[in-house]
Amino acid sequence: MTGTLYLVATPIGNLQDITFRALETLRSVALIACEDTRHTQKLLNHFEIKKRLVSYHEHNEKERAEELAALLADGQSIAVVSDAGTPAVCDPSFRIVERAVAIGAPVVAIPGAVAFVNALVVSGLPTDSVFFGGFLPSKRNERLRRLAEVRELPATLVFYESPHRLEKSLADCLEVLGDRRAAVARELTKLHEEVRRGPLSELLSEISGNQIRGEIVLVLNRYTVEPKRSEVKGAGTLKNRLAELESEGLERKAALKKIAREFGLSRSEVYRRLLID
């Protein structure tokens, strides 16, 4: 008989979030495959678990998966853990799961923390339909293209982001998605946990120029269409609305911001449509 492959979720910050079942599994397997053996050793030491560790990360995943599959075929059970959270969610695990399935070894998930789920449920945004997009691309053109692809999805959007790119990504989200409601969750379950909520323009203003640290989850409200102005044929409608608002005494900058919100456009897109007419 083959061994069993266990995908064991570990805490994303607070060590007390680990489950009894996860600890029991880590104690029972023949070895533990992990991203960083030093990081996982600290977790095992905390819970007084002595177990053989092997590295399993994005740079050796292909070769290591074959080695682990051979051990499974030999009847040894293996646990796979990531540095934090659930394996295979933006972390290595796909190849070993693929090989385990191919040789007929049982694959069992030991549930626990997932950073994007934690961020979603505290964001104050709808949770009935969700799109998780992993990490946003680091290059701006690719990031803009990615955001354009998901712009009209009828689901709350969730992405991981690095702290040094957060300001740029928020600006790109505002440009492509419009000034929709959002939440920035930082250092979830840790000592300095923080969740900021509000329109993208406000979040960008708060974060701009500040040094942000820690692990970031970005949650964005779903695409919505204003019922009264759901069809934007061109600049004509925008110009009419601009004239209406200015006649009501609204300054142009404020009027353009309001139009962008009403039509589900970014302010830059409103400017563009008005200029090309």
CB crowding 60-99: b at 16 or more within 10 Å, else e: ebeebbeebbebbbeeebbbbbbebbbbebbbbbebbbeb
Q: Residues 184, 256: one domain?
A: no
DSSP β-bridge partners for residue 184: 196, 218
- pLDDT tens readout for residues 213-268: 999 999 999 997 654 444 445 556 788 888 888 888 888 888 888 888 777 777 77
How many Cα atoms occupy the beta-carbon half-sphere of 4 within 13 Å? 12
pLDDT of residue 274: 79
- pLDDT tens readout for residues 80-95: 999 999 999 988 899 9
Structure-model confidence comparison of residues 272 and 30, the more confident one: 30
Q: Residues 154, 237: one domain?
A: no
Q: Is the model's pLDDT at 2 over the cut of 90?
A: yes
91 vs 3, 57, 98, 142, CA distance in Å? 22, 8, 14, 21
User: If 0-12 CB within 10 Å is exposed, 13-18 middle and 19+ buried, where does residue 248 land?
Assistant: exposed
Q: Is the model's pLDDT at 35 over the cut of 80?
A: yes
Q: How far apart are CA 146 and CA 137, in angstroms?
A: 8
Beta strands in the chain (DSSP E): 5-8, 31-34, 52-55, 78-81, 107-110, 130-135, 156-161, 181-186, 194-199, 216-220
Structure-model confidence comparison of residues 129 and 267, the more confident one: 129
Q: Are 257 and 179 in contact (CB under 8 A)?
A: yes
Q: Residues 94, 19: one domain?
A: yes
Q: Residues 131, 194: one domain?
A: yes
Neighbours of 184 (CB within 10 A): 25
Instruction: Classify strands 181-186 and 216-220 as parallel, antiparallel or unpaired.
Output: antiparallel
Q: Is the model's pLDDT at 52 over the cut of 90?
A: yes
The band of 96, judged by pLDDT with boundaries at 50, 70 and 90, is very high
Structural domains of the chain, count:
3
Q: What's the domain range around 211?
A: 115-220
Q: Residues 126, 157: one domain?
A: yes
Q: Is the model's pLDDT at 105 over the cut of 50?
A: yes
- pTM as predicted: 0.78
Length of the chain: 277
Q: How far apart are CA 179 and CA 184, in angstroms?
A: 14
Domain end, chosen from 196, 220, 244, is at: 220
CATH classification of the domain holding 180: 3.30.950.10
SS3 142: helix
pLDDT of residue 276: 56
